Structure 1
Amino acid sequence: MAENDAPAQAPQAPQVKMNVMTQYVRDMSFENILAQKGVQGDVQPDVQVQVNLDAKKRSQENQYEAAIKLNITNKAKDGDATLFVLELDYVGIFHIEGIPEEQMHPFLLIECPRMIFPFVRRIVSDVTRDGGFPPLNLETIDFVALYRNEIARRQATAGAQKLDS
């Protein structure tokens, strides 16, 4: 077999390695305003959930931090009485190797939050139940859509700033 007849070797993509090293609640606040103000009667809840994501490189090699920040407000549908407010900042520390630099940002803001979200969901459920309300079971968050919306918002803001100049 001649040298030219050997099958061409495709360059292999680097092997992706990701480990969740630890995860923790960085900050949490739950206010049961219904109990504080003594709202009476049958109250129909209207739950609003705001989600923010954050990520950054840590000082150790190949270590990154990804955070899910939730702000949950539960108001009465037939008025503006707030029933409870829950704020949660939940962080995962990840060891990541093999991700190209240009793909690291979306990886940190999509895949990492997806890995720690079940724990966030459980905390929200437990805290609302322990706070005297029915457990709040968060819907699954589409982190890809959240990421795309944030990129579009940043591009629109940057475009508006160029027009103002």
Structure 2
Amino acid sequence: MAETGNGAAAQAPQIQLNVINQFVRDLSFENILAQKGGQGEVQPDIQVQVNLDAKKREAENQYEVSIKLNIENRDKTNTDKKIFLMEIDYAGLFFIAGVPEEQMHPFLLIECPRLLFPFLRRIVSDISRDGGFPPLNLDNIDFMALYRQELERRQAASGQAPAN
């Protein structure tokens, strides 16, 4: 029985995933409250938009995955009053081998962002703190749910019934 277990394990594809590099491609932070001379009490209402992108690089088995965040902080008492804006494009270069072709797209848009997110969260926290606000500690992002939502959105846009 141990032999069949070893045989089955030997047949399973060996997935290799290495982070080659991570970097901030683009970053913008605007302290609108300070620019307009705003003072007094504000009640922050933070909205975060997340966009993901992945592409194959020229080198074999190398991919680039980026997480783009658009963070807008408005005053709850006056939604027209912006407090700060932050836009960041954070990318990672990955070496990926052993992932079947039909599973590569979800792998790139779920697993790779999961690895990048803790570093991106730290940068967002530091930038908001350095910009004169309490550190913004982002909640975890469910990249699998984002992926499924995007698939459903695309299917609805093309008129196809959602897959169950």
Instruction: Measure how far apart 1:40 and its partner are.
Output: 2.0
| Map 1:1-165 → 2, pairs under 5 A | 9-10=7-8, 12-79=11-78, 80-159=80-159
Length-normalised TM-score, structure 1: 0.90
The percent identity for this pair of structures is 68
- Aligned to 2:103, the other structure's residue is in SS state helix
Q: 1:7 to 1:97 in 2, by over 3 A?
A: closer
Provide the C-alpha distance between the structure 2 equivalents of 1:142 and 1:7, rounded to a whole number of angstroms: 37
Amino acid at match of 2:41: D
- Aligned to 1:139, the other structure's residue is in SS state coil
- Deviation per CA, 1:102-136, whole angstroms, max 9, x where unpaired? 00000000000000100100000000000000000
- Which structure 1 residue ranges, 5 or more long, are not aligned? 1-5, 161-165
- Aligned to 2:60, the other structure's residue is in SS state coil
- Aligned to 1:125, the other structure's residue is in SS state helix
Provide the C-alpha distance between the structure 2 equivalents of 1:59 and 1:156, rounded to a whole number of angstroms: 33
Instruction: Measure how far apart 1:13 and its partner are.
Output: 1.7
Query: How many pairs does the alignment contain?
Result: 155
- Which structure 2 residue ranges, 5 or more long, are not aligned? none
- Deviation per CA, 1:125-156, whole angstroms, max 9, x where unpaired? 00000000000000000000000000000000
- Deviation per CA, 1:79-118, whole angstroms, max 9, x where unpaired? 0200000000000000000000000000000000000100
The runs of at least 4 consecutive aligned structure 1 residues that moved more than 6 Å come to none
Provide the C-alpha distance between the structure 1 equivalents of 2:83 and 2:40, rounded to a whole number of angstroms: 12
Length-normalised TM-score, structure 2: 0.91
Q: 1:63 to 1:43 in 2, by over 3 A?
A: same
- Aligned to 1:81, the other structure's residue is in SS state strand
- Aligned to 1:136, the other structure's residue is in SS state coil
